[in-house]
Amino acid sequence: MNGAESLLTTLVNNGVEVCFTNPGTSEMHFVAALDEVEGMRCVLCLFEGVLSGAADGYARMARKPASTLLHLGPGLGNALANIHNAKKGHVPVVNIVGDHATYHLQYDAPLTADIEGIARPVSHWVYTSKAPGDIARDAAEAVRQAGIGQVATLMLPADVSWGDNPNGPEGRVAVAPPAVVPAARLQQALALLQSGARCMVMIGGREIDGGRGLLLSRIGKAAGARVCTEVFPGRVARGAGTAVIDRLPYLAELAIDHIKDIEHLILVGAPAPVSFFAYPNVPSAIAAPGCEQFVLAGPNDDIDQVLEDLLQGLGAVDVAPEVQPLTLPDLGAGPLDVFKLAAAVGHFLPENAVVVDESITSGFALYPATAAARPHDWLNLTGGSIGWGLPAAVGAAIACPERKVICLEGDGSAMYTIQSLWTMAREQLDVTVVIFNNTRYSVLEMEFARTGARGGKPGPNAASVLDIGDPDMDFTAIAAGMGVQASRATTAEEFNQQFAAAMQAKGPRLIDAVVPTMF
């Protein structure tokens, strides 16, 4: 058994059964091993930014890591932005990065690069395997590291891949369970909640599932505290039957106002809230200067347990949560806009759908319009780096083949990783992509004003850089070129019909929704 086969076997033994890849010469023995080792589904993507985003979306939905297989430093570089997003979202990922044979590095061939150097800023754990006899052990360690909500990046030199591994593969390794929050810290939080001060519990972390949301709602009611989620939770259960929970607004000005009266902000898996960017004359911290921020649990701690314990500690096991009823928005008519589009999404969203949201400014109306839709999971961009939505939808669809995936995507961000459409077609993934085609970097038009640059008014050169409508993009043509069935909607009636049909059908489909910009 060569190194690559022992690596693959170890991954499969540990439940890592999907590999998103775009390989090169140095990874050919890994590719060859796909026919020697059973149990690994290999998904080809035409660009590495697609596959790293897919690994993120997969892991969020499968609740376990996928692997990536990347070609040397530049392949890792291409994947970097979506690895960054996964890292910020505490998403487990195992990256396997092929390198030249160990003895070949001294020759500084054209593709030689400092791969560890590229990996470190976006990985919690980075390691270069040294010998074929080590690679299975190293892969097992990568799985252990990823399992606790981390990005593990393992370099696989070509000779480690092709050499004989006398030690064979590793079996199942133990991944550390989430840490239980110490009792003393729990008591401090209870004391705050029972102090009579104005408290808010903010939840975040890898996932806010239905159970956690309901627990949080009950805690809030029992303690008379406000509850909310972080701005962009990685995965959150929403819709009818889930708890009514605010989310912190994106815009710093609104977020600061939203929690200005809070005296104690209790953080459960969420980081202390901060402005996404710095602006002249806007504070970086969202909490009021006098607010005490108390970290009750980190993102990888045992959040179920701490919520249960809080509820128990409040003596509130009988308190009922505030629950969303099923309320479907009415459909709109006439020229399409983001509100009518959002209404249609909320109206037709099928039960158990997975929504991948990278709609940026066009999505302001989506969250409210779907709050009481049929129950679904919602995935957000956790690291702020655009080009995540289409890839994440690929990964989510592979993790959950029985669930409809809806990808709500800005036109600008769609173009970052548009190659995702090809993998959707190739794998016949059940993804409906909605492009909010407003021909603008609309968020930057807003941000230009917020930064106050040039008095908030872009001149002609600046305006040109924020305008992606010259030429207009025709996403139906682009999709067709990659084998995805597509249609265009300019009226609410067209969108309603096309979206409803897509919800009924199986397989990849794209709707190029022409909407006015929000600004």
Which positions from 302 through 361 interact with a second copy, judged by CB under 8 A? none
- SS3 at position 210: helix
> DSSP string covering 59-73, please?
HHHHSS--EEEEEHH
Size of the site for a second copy (CB under 8 A): 104
Q: Is 507 in the site for a second copy (CB under 8 A)?
A: no
Q: Which tokens in the block code for residue 341?
A: 């589009």
Q: Which residue has the tokens 């409210």?
A: 368
Segment near a second copy (CB under 8 A), from 254-262, 276-284, 316-324, 338-346?
A: 276-284
Amino acid at 142: A
In whole angstroms, give the CA distance from residue 474 to residue 249. Answer: 32
Q: Which tokens in the block code for residue 326?
A: 């099923």
Other Cβ atoms less than 10 A from the Cβ of 114: the count is 9
For a second copy, which residue of 114, 289, 318, 334 counts as binding (CB under 8 A)? 114
HSE-CB at 22 with a 13 A cutoff on CA atoms is: 21
Segment near a second copy (CB under 8 A), from 145-153, 192-200, 269-277, 315-323?
A: 269-277
Is the Cβ–Cβ distance between 85 and 381 less than 8 Å?
Answer: yes
Binders of a second copy among residues 280 to 299 (CB under 8 A) are 280, 284-285
Binders of a second copy among residues 151 to 210 (CB under 8 A) are 158-159, 162
Q: Is 506 in the site for a second copy (CB under 8 A)?
A: no
For a second copy, which residue of 176, 179, 183, 453 counts as binding (CB under 8 A)? 453
Q: Is 418 in the site for a second copy (CB under 8 A)?
A: yes
Question: Which CB sits closer to a second copy, 78 or 242?
Answer: 78
Task: Give me Rg for the CA atoms of the chain.
Answer: 24
Q: Name the nearest CA neighbour of 74 among 100, 113, 30.
A: 113
Which DSSP symbol is given to 352? T
Q: Name the minimum Å distance from CB 99 to a second copy.
A: 10
For a second copy, which residue of 177, 290, 318, 461 counts as binding (CB under 8 A)? 461
Q: Is 426 in the site for a second copy (CB under 8 A)?
A: yes
Q: Is 247 in the site for a second copy (CB under 8 A)?
A: no
Phi, psi of 45 (to 5 degrees): -125, 150
Q: Is 113 in the site for a second copy (CB under 8 A)?
A: yes
Q: Name the minimum Å distance from CB 29 to a second copy.
A: 5
Q: Is 271 in the site for a second copy (CB under 8 A)?
A: yes
Label residue 428 left, alpha or beta by phi (over 0 means left) and psi (-120 to 50 means alpha): left
Segment near a second copy (CB under 8 A), from 166-174, 368-376, 431-439, 443-451?
A: 443-451
Is the Cβ–Cβ distance between 126 and 97 less than 8 Å?
Answer: no
Q: Is 444 in the site for a second copy (CB under 8 A)?
A: yes
Binders of a second copy among residues 361 to 390 (CB under 8 A) are 382-385, 387
Q: Is 39 in the site for a second copy (CB under 8 A)?
A: no
In whole angstroms, give the CA distance from residue 502 to residue 510. Answer: 9
Q: Is 129 in the site for a second copy (CB under 8 A)?
A: no
Q: Name the minimum Å distance from CB 519 to a second copy.
A: 14
Name the burial class of residue 367, with classes exposed (0-12), middle (13-18) and buried (19+) by CB atoms within 10 angstroms of its CB. middle
Q: Is 95 in the site for a second copy (CB under 8 A)?
A: no
Segment near a second copy (CB under 8 A), from 192-200, 203-211, 294-302, 445-453?
A: 445-453
Is the Cβ–Cβ distance between 83 and 57 less than 8 Å?
Answer: no
Q: Name the nearest CA neighbour of 339 among 371, 372, 362.
A: 362
Q: Name the minimum Å distance from CB 109 to a second copy.
A: 5
Q: Is 474 in the site for a second copy (CB under 8 A)?
A: yes
Q: In what order do the strands lie in the sheet with 485-489?
A: 235-238, 376-380, 353-358, 405-410, 431-437, 509-514, 485-489
Is the Cβ–Cβ distance between 143 and 152 less than 8 Å?
Answer: yes
Q: Name the minimum Å distance from CB 171 to a second copy.
A: 23
Q: Is 224 in the site for a second copy (CB under 8 A)?
A: no
For a second copy, which residue of 7, 11, 16, 34 counts as binding (CB under 8 A)? 34
* Residues forming beta bridges with residue 358, ordered by sequence position: 409
Segment near a second copy (CB under 8 A), from 73-81, 261-269, 366-374, 489-497?
A: 73-81
For a second copy, which residue of 15, 24, 350, 507 counts as binding (CB under 8 A)? 24
Question: Which CB sits closer to a second copy, 190 or 228?
Answer: 228
